[in-house]
Amino acid sequence: MNESAAIDARQALPQEADTCFARFIDVQKSYDGVELVVKGFNLDIQRGEFITLLGPSGSGKTTCLMMMAGFETPTHGEILLQGQPINGLPPHKRGIGMVFQNYALFPHMTVAENLAFPLEVRHLPKAEIARQVDRALGMVRLEGFGSRRPAQLSGGQQQRVALARALVFEPELVLMDEPLGALDKNLREEMQYEIKRIHASLGVTMIYVTHDQTEALTMSDRIAVFNDGVVQQLATPETLYELPENAFVASFIGENNRLQGEVVEHLGERCEVVLDSGERVVARPVAVGGVGTRTTLSLRPERVALIGDDDEGRYDNRFSGIVQEVIYLGDHLRTRLQLCGNDEFILKTPNAEGNASLRPGQSVTVGWTWQDCRALDA
């Protein structure tokens, strides 16, 4: 790493940097010298925050985590921990707890020995180690499992041990790389809750990697949505879901109806778009240029309403479509419509009286407000 570049980066920091617990500044990474896997990654992490890196496979999430942990060096840029650059610091001096996707529990040691390892290398007295190990086992509710080997534990129990091991030496930052990826759905939900509980009770900072959007939405304070080595949007779960800034985020988080068209009128806070199939739609411009630019309209299925004859005028956009398919999901119904030239237009309606009677082939009128329809990049 270039010495002067490091100093430049430090001087370039604004004063408020001190309040940041960890920072990625303009970090780039290339493995082969040909292709950038991470491109200009910036992230400020507050103390005690639960940050999730969310993105499709191969988008560079693990790479970012590995750079934080010290197993990969950034090709360019700076990583700060508590205001100090850590680019040259070897992993064992960083004091960062880490949970690996395959848990990486040492198979030749018992659970207690696994938990004691980080304490032994810190030369803690024996009695203190025993006490801390017991406390950590208690924290993940595995009292009495200390003498088992990892292979004698279930997946969920191994996961808990890995978590306990990453926390037992009281690191201030814990990294988790898809820690729940190998668990089944029920266990995953239970562990999500567990991790949140521990996070809340210990107040540690956590950086969490996943490609499961539900997991990201339920657990995180903030989510960085990754694609192609670039952060597409960094925001709270609500913001990401309600106010996606581009087409990728909109389609990656939650379900999403997409309509392609061209902007014909731009009136500041609203715009009009002519769809490729000819209809005119009023939308909220979020990431579009002026008149004449192409756009993707994004619309959440639950924000589309079935319109009877009574509520004239409530919706700015009203269109009629033909029911293709109705899927009964208990509490709600998913209806696939042919609408505005789109065969895959999804409508999500609560299982309320009157809504359940839709049949394929039937013609219906649906509507949505301009605020719910976001005009994003094409």
Partner 1 sequence: MSQSPSDTLTTADGVPLKVSLRRAVRRSKFKALLLVSPLLAFLIIAFVMPILDMLWRSVDNPEVSTRLSRTVEALEGWDGESLPGEPVFAALVADLREGQEARDLGLLSSRLNYEKSGMRSAISRTARRLGNLEPPYREALIEINDSWGELSTWKLIERESSPYTLSYYLAAMDRQLSPEGEIVKVPDYLEIHVALFWRTFWMSAVITGLTLLLGYPIAYLLANLPLRHSNLLMILVLLPFWTSLLVRTTTWIAILQSQGVLNDMMVAIGVIADEARWQMIHNKTGTIVAMTHILLPFMILPLYSVMKTIPPSYMRAARSLGGKPILSFRRVYFPLTIPGIAAGGILVFILAIGYYITPALVGGQSGRFITNYIAYHMQTSLNWGLAAAIASILLLVVIVFYLVFNRLIGVDKVKLG
Ligand X SMILES: Nc1ncnc2c1ncn2[C@@H]1O[C@H](COP(=O)(O)OP(=O)(O)OP(=O)(O)O)[C@@H](O)[C@H]1O
Contact residues for partner 1, defined by CB under 8 A = 69-71, 90-92, 94-98, 100-102, 104-108, 117-118, 121-122, 165-166, 169
Cα–Cα distance for residue pair 52/333, rounded to 1 Å: 31
To the nearest whole angstrom, how small is the minimum distance from the Cβ of residue 9 to ligand X?
A: 22
Binding positions for ligand X, rule: CB under 6 A: 31, 37, 55, 57-63, 211
Q: Which is nearer to Mg ion, 62 or 257 (CB)?
A: 62
Which run of H or of E encompasses 62?
helix 61-69
The site partner of 188 among partner 1, ligand X, Mg ion, none (C-beta below 5 to 8 Å per kind) is: none
To the nearest whole angstrom, how small is the minimum distance from the Cβ of residue 317 to partner 1?
A: 51
Q: Which is nearer to partner 1, 122 or 280 (CB)?
A: 122
350 Cα distance to chain centroid? 27
To the nearest whole angstrom, how small is the minimum distance from the Cβ of residue 43 to partner 1?
A: 20
The site partner of 31 among partner 1, Mg ion, ligand X, none (C-beta below 5 to 8 Å per kind) is: ligand X
62 contacts Mg ion (rule: CB under 5 A): yes
Sheet with 173-177: strands ordered across: 96-99, 173-177, 205-210, 50-54, 222-227, 230-235
Q: Which is nearer to partner 1, 26 or 72 (CB)?
A: 72
Cα–Cα distance for residue pair 184/261, rounded to 1 Å: 41
The site partner of 60 among ligand X, partner 1, Mg ion, none (C-beta below 5 to 8 Å per kind) is: ligand X
Which run of H or of E encompasses 197?
helix 185-202
To the nearest whole angstrom, how small is the minimum distance from the Cβ of residue 30 to ligand X?
A: 9
Cα–Cα distance for residue pair 276/263, rounded to 1 Å: 11
To the nearest whole angstrom, how small is the minimum distance from the Cβ of residue 105 to partner 1?
A: 8
The site partner of 211 among Mg ion, partner 1, ligand X, none (C-beta below 5 to 8 Å per kind) is: ligand X
Q: Which residue stretch of 56-64, 109-117, 224-232, 322-330 sits at the interface with Mg ion (rule: CB under 5 A)?
A: 56-64
Residue 13 CB-density burial (10 A; 0-12 exposed, 13-18 middle, 19+ buried)? middle
Nearest to 56 by CA among 253, 308, 280: 253
The site partner of 284 among ligand X, Mg ion, partner 1, none (C-beta below 5 to 8 Å per kind) is: none
Cα–Cα distance for residue pair 360/104, rounded to 1 Å: 51
Residues 6 or more apart whose Cβ sits within 8 Å of residue 257: 298, 299, 300, 301, 304, 342, 344, 345, 346
Burial 143-163 (b: 16+ CB within 10 A, else e): eebbeeebeebeebbbbbbbb
Q: Which is nearer to ligand X, 33 or 268 (CB)?
A: 33
The site partner of 37 among ligand X, partner 1, Mg ion, none (C-beta below 5 to 8 Å per kind) is: ligand X
Q: Which is nearer to partner 1, 108 or 185 (CB)?
A: 108
Reading the block at residue 152, the tokens are: 């004698």
Cα–Cα distance for residue pair 76/40, rounded to 1 Å: 9
Residue nearest to ligand X (CB): 62
Looking at residues 121 to 140 of the shown chain, list those that interact with Mg ion (rule: CB under 5 A): none
To the nearest whole angstrom, how small is the minimum distance from the Cβ of residue 288 to partner 1?
A: 44
DSSP secondary structure code for residue 59 in this structure: S
Q: Which is nearer to partner 1, 165 or 374 (CB)?
A: 165
Cα–Cα distance for residue pair 26/80, rounded to 1 Å: 11
Cα–Cα distance for residue pair 323/1, rounded to 1 Å: 60
Q: Which is nearer to partner 1, 117 or 241 (CB)?
A: 117
Q: Which is nearer to ligand X, 53 or 323 (CB)?
A: 53
DSSP secondary structure code for residue 140 in this structure: T
Residues 6 or more apart whose Cβ sits within 8 Å of residue 322: 337, 338, 339, 361, 362, 363, 364
Q: Which is nearer to partner 1, 32 or 269 (CB)?
A: 32
To the nearest whole angstrom, how small is the minimum distance from the Cβ of residue 276 to partner 1?
A: 46
Reading the block at residue 156, the tokens are: 């969920």
To the nearest whole angstrom, how small is the minimum distance from the Cβ of residue 265 to ligand X?
A: 40
DSSP secondary structure code for residue 39 in this structure: E
Give the footprint of Mg ion on this chain (CB under 5 A): 62
